[in-house]
Each structure stands twice: as C-alpha cells, then as structure tokens.
Structure 1
Amino acid sequence: MTRTHIAILGAGPAGLGAAWQLVKQGKAEVTVLEQKDVVGGNAGSFELAGLNVDYGSHRLHPATDPKIMADLQALLGEDLLDRPRHGRIRLQDRWIHFPLKPQDLMLKLPLSFGAGVAFDAAKKFVPHQNGNGHETFTSVLEKGLGSTICRDFYFPYAKKIWGVQPEELSAIQAHRRVSAGSLGKMVKKVLSIVPGLKSPSAGRFYYPKKGFGQISQAIADEAQNLGAEIKFGSSVRKIELGEKQTITFEKDGNLETIEADYIWSTIPLTILTKAISPSAPKEIIEASGKISYRAMVLIYLVLNQSQWTEFDAHYFPEAEIKLTRLSEPKNYCVANEPKNQTILCGELPCMVNDEVWNASDGELVEMVRDSLKKMWVAD
C-alpha cells in the first residue's frame, strides 16, 4: 500500500513540527522544501564573533502548551535552560523592571503615575457599560490595565512595533501578547511576593543553550532520523493542483519537481497565491495582495568586554527613540565564552523601502548610538 506523501513548504518551527509529528506517528512520507540552507526561519540562530545569536530576541514561555513543552524538553534535555526574566524598561526617565512589577509602578515612578494606576484600579469597582461590545487592541488593554499604563507604555510601544495606531490593531494581539493582562493579575503578582504564594514559573522563561534556533535544529534532526526529507536551497516557483499536487522549485539554478498528495504551507500567502495553478479566484488574489508585512532591521554590535549590563533586554516605548528593544544574547544563556566579548542586538521596526530599511550600515549604527545617548542606557 502506497503511503500518503505530504509536501511541507518552509522549514521554520511550524513546518518542522508538522513534519516531525507526521513521521513520528507514521501518518505520511514527508518532504520539506526550504529556500535557505538552514532551518529555523526567523526563529533560527547563527554564529557571530564566537557567540550564537538569534534574529532578534526570542524566548520559550512557560505557558507553552504542555505537550509541546514536554516534546521540546525530551529533545533538548539539559540544553533547555530555565532562566529568570531580567529586563528593564525606560518610563518617564526612570528604569523599572520588565515584565512590569506593581511595586515598581507605585514606588519607582513619579507620584502622579502611581496615583493614575491606583485611580484606574478603583474604577474597576464602579459599574459602567461595556460600550458597543466590539473589542479592539485599545479596548482590551484599557479595560484590563487602565489608561495610565496603556498611555505611557503599551500604546506607544505597540505603535512603534506595528507602525499603526493602537486603535487599528486586532484585539487578538492584546489577548496574546500581554502577560500582565489586567490589574487583577497585577494584584496577584503583588501577593506572589509572599513566600508560598509565588508560582514556580512566575517571571521565568526557557531558552536553549545554543540559541533559540537549537529548537528548530533539534526537531529537524529528529524528523530526518525518522525518515523526513528536507530539501534546502529550494525556492517554490509553481504549484499545480490536481489529483496529485505538482510542485516546481528551483535548486542550484535548476528547476525540479515533486508530486505530493497534500501540500501544507507555512510560506507567506502573498507568495503562495501567486504560485498556484490553476490560478486562485480573483478575489483571493486581490485579498492576498492587500496583505502588508511589518519589517524589522536588526543591528548587532560586538563589544570587547565580557558583559555590557546584567539585563537580558532593554525596552524603549518612547517615540523619539528609534529602537524598540536592545538585547544581550549572552545573558539569555549565561554564556561564559568568549570571556572578553559580548554582543548587543538592536531592533528597528520599519516598512520595506522606508528610511530605516534603506539606511547604510553606518547610518544604522548611528541610529543605535543616538538611541543609547538619549536613553543613557548603561547607567
């Protein structure tokens, strides 16, 4: 009996995870097409100045689905490190811990800020109408955190990252991305300071010893051991749909084809819809053409010192500072080598072909230096 053949487009965590589970459970033969020469996609890692660094800042949250977490722990073993979160954010010219701690909000910031947070909390006990029932990023966060924290942190930061007003963002982003999703949760954080009440996973994250890309590499290795095939350097050019699906891809300058019973895609819809033949309906093509993607430029600075600061990441919500985050990868995995070097990764959200995207390396370095001068980070 011929086994089902599934072609998976893209060797990021999603594509590799699917491939691994399919061959692990004996459900299909699997071929993964990946245009790069390595796995991981944006969640991959690479070596720079003797250190493994990621494309930006990545962590594995303890709230990850228990089954997925168990699989990753089995794959990585002791290489999956349990680390405390130790970042900081600049608010109103003062540094406070990030993730936000209630005691910092009340004691380290100006009295007016603490009073605003307290007033927002008090309003929770006043009956009020829920508006028109339509949730947005703004409404979800203001309802959960109050206007003070939203005004000074979450809304400015969201605008910098996404490039649009918070009112234009989906409520899904608010529900998924904000860990301290309500003042009630923040009260629980206060109580967690009391011995015996603190969750073992509070303020912690998991991180692979060799960089976040080690997760994808471990999954890829296991999938290949079980029979999955990964074709690197393979760019999809055409997908012909029929009783069998035929995929034409370019590899080493030559066009090759494979047939599959099913195609599972993790590549951008803007690329997928253009590759399909017979062509997708006109409305699908038009809809996919309206999808825009937010870009990001990453700047890596190699410093000739063992450690820059004790913090893993620094966050900048202020509009006048182009950086949104500055991380020190060495602090994520407690790396001791190399002894006299460390790396900083600066993140600059942008749009393709804007001034940041088209800036030279020298101009980008100056943007980072300007940000550091304005924020006097290393104090």
Structure 2
Amino acid sequence: MSEVHIVVLGGGPAGCGAAYQLRKEGKAKVTLIEQTQMLGGNSGSFEVDGQYLDFGSHRLHAACDPEILRDIKQMLGDDLAHRDRHGRIRLRDKWLHFPLKTTDLMMRLDKPFAFGAAWDVLKRTLFGKGDEGTTFASVLKANLGQTICEHFYFPYSRKLWGHEPDKLSGIQAHKRVSAGSISKIIKRLAKPPGAGKFYYPRKGFGQISEVYAQEGEKLGAKIKMGWSANKVVQLQGGGFDIELVNKAGDKENLKADQIWSTIPVTILSKMIEPSVPQEVLTAAEKITYRSMVLVYLSLPVDQWTTTDAHYFPEKDIHMTRISEPKNYFGLQEPKGQTIVCAEIPCERGDAIWNMSDEELGHLILQDMATADLPIHEPSKVFSKRLPQAYPIYTMGYENDLNAMDNWIDAIPNLLIYGRQGFFAHDNTHHALYMAYSAVNCLDSEGNFDHNRWLEYRDIFATHVVED
C-alpha cells in the first residue's frame, strides 16, 4: 500500500511540528506549504544588522509537554537557553516585577490599589463572588473584584482587543487570563509557573519552527516555501486537488490524500470547492481578528535596560508591550547596538496601521517619555504589520465559529488545528501539542481516528494562555 500523502498548510509551529512528527513516525508522505520565504508565521524570526528579531515578544514556557520539550532540546542543543524572566508592568505609574513577586508587591504596589484589592477580597469572602455572567467584564469582576479589573485588566483589554470589556465574551476571560482568580494569583506568587523561567533559542523564537522543518526535511518531508493554496477542490472518491500560486503568479497543482490546515479558518473556508454554503461564508465574515503594528527602534547602546519586556495597561500609552530581544538569550553582540520592539494593537487600515515608520518612531519615543524609560535617538526605525495578531471573542462569536467548524468537520480528510486554524488564544507549546496529538490520531495505514481527536479537542479547550 502506497504512503498516504498529507499536505500541511502553513509553516508556523503547528505546521512544522506536524511535518516533523509525521515523518519521524513514518506515517505519511508530507508536503508543507508556506506562502512566505520564512518559517514560523507570527512566531517567526528575522535578522537585521546582526540581531535576530521576533514578531513581538515570544518565549517557550515551562508548561510545554515533556515529549515536545525533549524534542526541542535535542534539536536545538546549546542553542536553547533556560532563562530567568525579568519583565515589568507599569501599574498606576509604578513599576512591578513580572511575573509578580510577593516582596516586590509589598514594597512597590500603589497603596490605594492595594487597599481596594484587599477590600474586594474581603467582600467576596463575606458575601461570595456572585454570578459570573457571560461577558469578559462580568467574569473577571466576579473572580478578581472591581479594583484589579478597573485599573489593570479592563484598560489592557481595551487596548489589546479594541472593544469594551462588556462587549467581549466571557470565554475570552477564561482562555486569556491565566491568573483569573485571587486564589490563582496567590498560588502564582507562592510558586511561579516554571519557577519564573522560560526557554528561548539563540537565533530568535522562529528557530523552533525552523529546526522542526529542517529535521522534518532530513526525514523526507518536502517544505515548499513562497507558495500559497489558492483553491482546494474536493475530488470524487476522496482526496483533494490543490491549486498553488506564488507571488509571480505562477501556478501548479498538487494532489493530496489529506489536508492538515493551520491557516486562518476564515481564509480556508473561502478557497474550498464545491462552493461553500452561504451561511458558512456569512459566519466567516463575523469572525474578526485584532491587527498589530510592530515598531523596531535600533538604539546606539549595548543594552537599553536589563528587562526583557515591559507591559503597559494604561490608556495614556499607545503600546501594550516593548521587548529587547538581546535580553531573551542573554547575548552581548553586537556591541554598541540593540534593537527594541514595541507592539501597538490596531485595526487593519486605521490611523496607526497607516502611519509611516518615522511617525511610528516618534509615537514610541513619546510613550517612552511618558513611562519614564531611557530615551536614545534611534539610528533606524522600521515596522512590521500582523493582520491577524489576536482573535477577538465578541459576544456570540462561538455560534459563528461552530457553524464553520461543523461544516469543515463534515469534509472527509480535512483537518484544522493550531492557533489560527482553531481561532484560539494559544501559546506555541499549545500549537505543538495539537500537532503531536493529530499525528497520534493517524495510524500506520493513514486512517485518522476522529473519536480520539475529539478527546484531544476537549483537552485543547482547557488551554489557557501563559503570559
């Protein structure tokens, strides 16, 4: 019997992880399709002036599945560092260490904020937390109290997703806020996840996806970069005919027994033939993403600060986070230069999205001044744009997502998974876990165990983002 041919759409962690694992297990012939010339997707990396940069701040968390972490360690070797986290959050004009530390909170936390949070805890102890409701606002208020919500989570959520907290689904609170209750905050203070450490590759976070692809190629996977799926035709008797196109407009066709897609489900739904039902297309139009502009400033110093990432929930600062990639691995080179990356959530096509690099540079320097951060005249400013940075869970979004999910699930031999495929708030270790889980559902003859996959999906539903 000939080997089943699986075409993986998307070269992010979920796609590269599946390509590697499928070949490692010898379960399928694999072709991975990536539309750009870079692997990793939003979790990719690129080099500028001798520095490896990411698309925003990324790190591999200690919560990573042991088997996956073992593979990554084996593949990267000395190129994988295990580092202490040194983040900072600016809360009511005061800097707090992130992850939170008990002694730091006692010394630096704004006193009115501390008293307000304590009063919220006392009220909940005396009267109970009350009904959670169904919105992001009601869920967090019931669990964390008014003070933490009004001064931290609500302003941060307005910046991050561009919606009022009461217009967002409560699911967003459960999926996105890892410390979603006072008891969880206390547990994290007593025992920080991963002992306050993280993993990071020497050549940027995208090196994880790159090494998965490289090892997958050694085992026989074909990695086809610079091509994207333009049309997916279902064939009678099973399988697919995929029309590929590159930037030059060249086209070619590829036959597949199965398609494993990690690309945004909204994009996938528009390329499948026979034509997609109108109700599914309508549902796809209602699924929305928050975009992001990444602003990179090259500064003429060895090191800007000792902090890996600064967080800004306040509304008077445009960026939500600024990171210094050299600090993530602890690199000393190049001397006399470091590049920082500021993240500004926005809507595709709005004023922020359309700003020039010069305008964006001035905006970030203004933010630095507002936050009392060190200011150096940048020698270079450039930007990157992510059209689909974060999924937005507006009220009732799950109905539209389920309509799309049910339709795709009814198509034989088509699998969706990964952060973009599932429209999920997930970390890279979650995406890789999905990839490994999918491979576990495929037997040696190419048969996919859908019942086992549903069991895995129940596990995926419990994933909560690690910040």
- The equivalent position to 1:232 in structure 2, one of 225, 249, 274, is 225
Cα distance change on mapping 1:59 and 1:53 into 2, 3 Å? same
> After superposition, what is the alpha-carbon deviation per residue over 1:245-266, rounded to whole angstroms, capped at 9, x for unaligned?
0000113431100101111111
State the AA in 1 paired with 2:160.
Answer: I
- The equivalent position to 2:359 in structure 1, one of 360, 363, 377, is 363
Uncovered stretches (5+) of structure 2, i.e. residues with no partner:
376-467
Whether 1:307 aligns to 2:306 is no
Q: Aligned to 1:3, what secondary structure does the other structure show?
A: coil
> Residue 195 of structure 1 aligns with which residue?
none
- The equivalent position to 2:195 in structure 1, one of 190, 202, 212, is 202
Asked whether the equivalents of residues 107 and 114 of structure 1 are also in contact (C-alpha less than 8 Å), the reply is no
Once the two structures are overlaid, the 10-residue window that deviates more, 21-30 or 209-218, is 21-30
Cα distance change on mapping 1:263 and 1:97 into 2, 3 Å? same
> Residue 325 of structure 2 aligns with which residue?
329
**1:173 CA displacement:** 3.3
Matched positions, count = 372
> Residue 3 of structure 1 aligns with which residue?
3
Asked whether the equivalents of residues 61 and 194 of structure 2 are also in contact (C-alpha less than 8 Å), the reply is no
Cα distance change on mapping 1:189 and 1:23 into 2, 3 Å? closer
> Residue 166 of structure 2 aligns with which residue?
167
**1:93 CA displacement:** 1.4
Q: Within 2, Cα distance between the matches of 1:290 and 1:14?
A: 25
> Residue 158 of structure 1 aligns with which residue?
157
Asked whether the equivalents of residues 136 and 170 of structure 2 are also in contact (C-alpha less than 8 Å), the reply is yes
Q: Within 2, Cα distance between the matches of 1:60 and 1:175?
A: 21
Whether 1:296 aligns to 2:289 is no
Asked whether the equivalents of residues 101 and 186 of structure 1 are also in contact (C-alpha less than 8 Å), the reply is no
> Residue 215 of structure 2 aligns with which residue?
222
Q: Within 2, Cα distance between the matches of 1:100 and 1:155?
A: 19
Asked whether the equivalents of residues 96 and 104 of structure 1 are also in contact (C-alpha less than 8 Å), the reply is yes
Asked whether the equivalents of residues 102 and 187 of structure 1 are also in contact (C-alpha less than 8 Å), the reply is no
Q: Within 1, Cα distance between the matches of 2:26 and 2:374?
A: 53
Uncovered stretches (5+) of structure 1, i.e. residues with no partner:
193-197
Asked whether the equivalents of residues 102 and 186 of structure 1 are also in contact (C-alpha less than 8 Å), the reply is no
Once the two structures are overlaid, the 10-residue window that deviates more, 175-184 or 37-46, is 175-184
> Residue 273 of structure 1 aligns with which residue?
269
- The equivalent position to 1:211 in structure 2, one of 189, 199, 204, is 204
> Residue 347 of structure 1 aligns with which residue?
343
Instruction: State TM-score, norm by structure 1.
Output: 0.93
> Residue 241 of structure 1 aligns with which residue?
234
Superposition misfits of 4+ residues, deviation over 6 angstroms: none
**1:134 CA displacement:** 4.0
Q: Aligned to 2:319, what secondary structure does the other structure show?
A: coil
State the AA in 2 paired with 1:322.
Answer: H
- The equivalent position to 1:256 in structure 2, one of 247, 252, 260, is 252
Asked whether the equivalents of residues 102 and 189 of structure 1 are also in contact (C-alpha less than 8 Å), the reply is no
**1:106 CA displacement:** 4.0
Asked whether the equivalents of residues 137 and 165 of structure 2 are also in contact (C-alpha less than 8 Å), the reply is yes
Once the two structures are overlaid, the 10-residue window that deviates more, 290-299 or 65-74, is 65-74
Asked whether the equivalents of residues 106 and 113 of structure 1 are also in contact (C-alpha less than 8 Å), the reply is no
Cα distance change on mapping 1:199 and 1:375 into 2, 3 Å? closer
Q: Within 2, Cα distance between the matches of 1:110 and 1:260?
A: 59
Q: Within 1, Cα distance between the matches of 2:76 and 2:12?
A: 17
Q: Aligned to 2:200, what secondary structure does the other structure show?
A: strand
Q: Within 2, Cα distance between the matches of 1:319 and 1:87?
A: 19
> After superposition, what is the alpha-carbon deviation per residue over 1:312-365, rounded to whole angstroms, capped at 9, x for unaligned?
111111112111111111111100101211111011110010000011111111
Cα distance change on mapping 1:221 and 1:261 into 2, 3 Å? same
> Residue 53 of structure 1 aligns with which residue?
53
State the AA in 1 paired with 2:123.
Answer: K
Cα distance change on mapping 1:371 and 1:335 into 2, 3 Å? same
State the AA in 2 paired with 1:41.
Answer: G
Asked whether the equivalents of residues 34 and 227 of structure 2 are also in contact (C-alpha less than 8 Å), the reply is yes
> Residue 117 of structure 1 aligns with which residue?
117
Whether 1:316 aligns to 2:315 is no
Q: Within 1, Cα distance between the matches of 2:267 and 2:186?
A: 46
**1:68 CA displacement:** 2.1
Q: Within 2, Cα distance between the matches of 1:173 and 1:70?
A: 31
Q: Aligned to 1:81, what secondary structure does the other structure show?
A: strand
> After superposition, what is the alpha-carbon deviation per residue over 1:76-129, rounded to whole angstroms, capped at 9, x for unaligned?
223221111111111111111122334444431332111112112223322436
Q: Within 2, Cα distance between the matches of 1:3 and 1:134?
A: 51
Identical positions, percent: 52
Cα distance change on mapping 1:73 and 1:172 into 2, 3 Å? farther
Q: Within 2, Cα distance between the matches of 1:300 and 1:266?
A: 28
Cα distance change on mapping 1:129 and 1:55 into 2, 3 Å? closer
> After superposition, what is the alpha-carbon deviation per residue over 1:168-210, rounded to whole angstroms, capped at 9, x for unaligned?
33334333433433222333345x3xxxxx5682221111121
Q: Within 1, Cα distance between the matches of 2:129 and 2:139?
A: 14
Asked whether the equivalents of residues 80 and 206 of structure 1 are also in contact (C-alpha less than 8 Å), the reply is yes
Matches within 5 A, 1:67-146: 67-128=67-128, 130-131=130-131, 134-146=133-145
> After superposition, what is the alpha-carbon deviation per residue over 1:17-58, rounded to whole angstroms, capped at 9, x for unaligned?
111121111111111111111211110000112110100000
Q: Within 1, Cα distance between the matches of 2:294 and 2:213?
A: 26
Cα distance change on mapping 1:140 and 1:81 into 2, 3 Å? farther
Q: Aligned to 1:202, what secondary structure does the other structure show?
A: helix
